[in-house]
Amino acid sequence: MKKLIFGAFCGAALFFGGCGGKKKEIVIVTPESAEKKKEMASNVFLAVNKRDYDNAQRMIGDFIDLYPGDPEIASFKLMIADVKYEQEKFAEAFEAYQHFQEYYPADQHAEYAAYKAAHAKFNQANHVTCDSTPIEKTLELCKAYLARQDYVRYKTQIEDLARTCERNLLDKELYVVNSYLNQQRYASARHRLTNISERFDLSQDGKDHYLFCKAKLAKAENNTDELATVIDDLHAEYPRSQFTAMAERLTPKKSGLLFG
């Protein structure tokens, strides 16, 4: 009897073990329910509202690990970008917004991500070192946004940002011109002014500053005719500009005679 039982046990072991040494696949079923998922998502929003950003990002990571195909992930990834922006981690925020646009180009929030990416890049500029690279990149992002006919919600804000970038870049170029003038490198200053006139739309903003630099160059080169012409242009176009008043001071004072 014991032999029969032992034989039956061995036969069962062989049957359940499979034939030819074939391994059995084990399927792990995640125990979290739909209610649990809803609770996790709710906790994320609660943490963000409390500005508990570290916990919010940790919970978002946990959610993505548990539900990698869930449609809620897109909004959570955008939320991470916003959190980075709020924390003034602008480089990380920019990358996160770019990532969102790349992976969710048809999402209803793709335009928002493009708008925020431009501002995140602009905020990376270090105005102390005068590195214009982030400003130039921001301007490219603005132009890319404005080229999209379907992007209209943040058009006014992007146009304002583009103008700010243009003025920032123009001011940097005029700063270089002033440096050349101080070093008496007049040919370099004139060449730079020519490039500025070709590169920038001076009808938008900054032309009065540009004309003032031209006046300073004319004064340095003792070109009285050009100096007078530039000052006339300043009076005609920008009568109340500080640069017009500053250019006036470049002209020699006329002396008069007092009769007793």
- Assign residue 73 the CATH number of its domain: 1.25.40.10
In a domain, 225, yes or no: no
- CB-based contact 97:120 (threshold 8 Å): yes
Under the banding of pLDDT at 50, 70 and 90, the label for residue 9 is very low
Q: Is the pLDDT of residue 132 over 90?
A: no
Q: Quick check: 1 pLDDT over 90?
A: no
In this prediction, residue 6 carries a pLDDT of 39
Give tens-digit pLDDT for 166-181.
999 999 999 999 999 9
Does residue 77 sit within a domain? yes
Which residues have C-beta within 8 Å of that of residue 93, sequence separation ≥ 6?
A: 81, 82, 84, 85, 116, 120
Report the pLDDT averaged over residues 4-9.
Answer: 39
What's the pLDDT score for residue 143?
Answer: 97
Confidence of residue 8 (pLDDT cuts 50, 70, 90): very low
Number of residues written out for the chain = 260
Domain-located, residue 238: no
Residue 13 has pLDDT above 80, yes or no: no
Which amino acid makes up residue 164?
Answer: T
Burial class (CB in 10 A: 0-12, 13-18, 19+), 132: middle
Mean pLDDT in residue range 117-132: 84
Phi-psi region of 217 (alpha: psi -120 to 50; beta: other; left: phi over 0): alpha
Number of structural domains (the chain) is: 1
Closest CA to 120 of 148, 101, 104, 103: 101
What pLDDT is recorded for position 88? 94
- List, in order, residues 6 or more apart from 45 with CB less than 8 Å away: none
Domain annotation covers residue 98? yes
pTM of the model: 0.76
Cβ proximity of 74 and 107 under 8 Å: yes
| CA-to-CA dists, residue 135 to 33, 132, 190, 205, 236, angstroms | 48, 5, 24, 17, 32
Tell me the pLDDT tens digit for each residue of 49-97.
999 999 999 999 998 888 888 888 999 999 999 999 999 999 999 999 9
The parent domain of residue 97 ranges over 34-121
How many Å apart are CA 222 and CA 192, to the nearest integer?
19
Spatial CA neighbour of 48 closest among 16, 82, 21: 82
At 171-219, the pLDDT tens digits run 999 999 999 999 999 999 999 999 999 999 998 889 999 999 999 999 9
Give CA–CA dist 110/43, Å, rounded: 25
Q: Is residue 168 a part of any domain in this protein?
A: no
